[in-house]
Amino acid sequence: MYRELDEQALASYCSKRDRLAEEELYRRYADRVFALCRRYVGGGASGDWCVGATLAGKEIPRDGFSFSLLGAGGVQFNMTRRLGLYVEPEISWTLPSEKRVLETYRSAHPFLFSVATGLRINLDK
């Protein structure tokens, strides 16, 4: 029944919270909406290795590994099939270490918030 309805009639049924009409609306337009905008979340871990440290031109002792946990979410607005703009907020936490030699910004402020933005090129077929 709902497949034969025009957009006006389908919208009328949806405004009355008709579940079958809502499912038909989703079936008709989900691909177009998801092609325009994608949302995603992710998480992971990061490791950093200090390769060298100097102070006033002299080499000083350096830390070994530094580990961080991170979580991110984002949204991408597709301008074409292969090109999209994205915004991706991220929060990370640097794990404390008793072996830390250097006092860095990340050791003094273990929680960091950043926002990455940019242009994403989709190389998929």
| Angle made by CA atoms 100, 105, 110, in degrees to the nearest 5 | 75
Tell me the pLDDT tens digit for each residue of 3-14: 888 888 888 888
Q: Which residue has the higher pLDDT, 46 or 125?
A: 46
109 pLDDT higher than 70: yes
Nearest to 59 by CA among 97, 100, 101: 101
Q: Is residue 63 part of a domain?
A: yes
Shortest CA distance to 81 belongs to which of 35, 32, 120, 38?
35
Burial grade of 108 (CB within 10 A; 0-12, 13-18, 19 or more):
exposed
The CB density around residue 24, as the number of other CB atoms within 10 Å, is 19
Parent domain of 94:
37-121
Report the C-alpha gap between 74 and 22 in whole angstroms: 26
pLDDT at 2 over 90: no
**Confidence (pLDDT) at 125:** 61
Residue 4 lies in a domain: no
Domain presence at residue 18: no
**Starting at the edge strand that comes first in sequence, how are the strands of the sheet with 37-49 ordered?**
37-49, 65-78, 83-94, 111-121
Task: Please check whether residue 1 lies inside any domain of the structure.
Answer: no
Phi, psi of 42 (to 5 degrees): -160, 170
Instruction: Indicate the DSSP class of residue 3.
Output: G
pLDDT digits (tens, 9 = 90+) for 38-91: 888 999 999 888 888 888 888 888 777 888 999 999 999 988 878 899 999 999
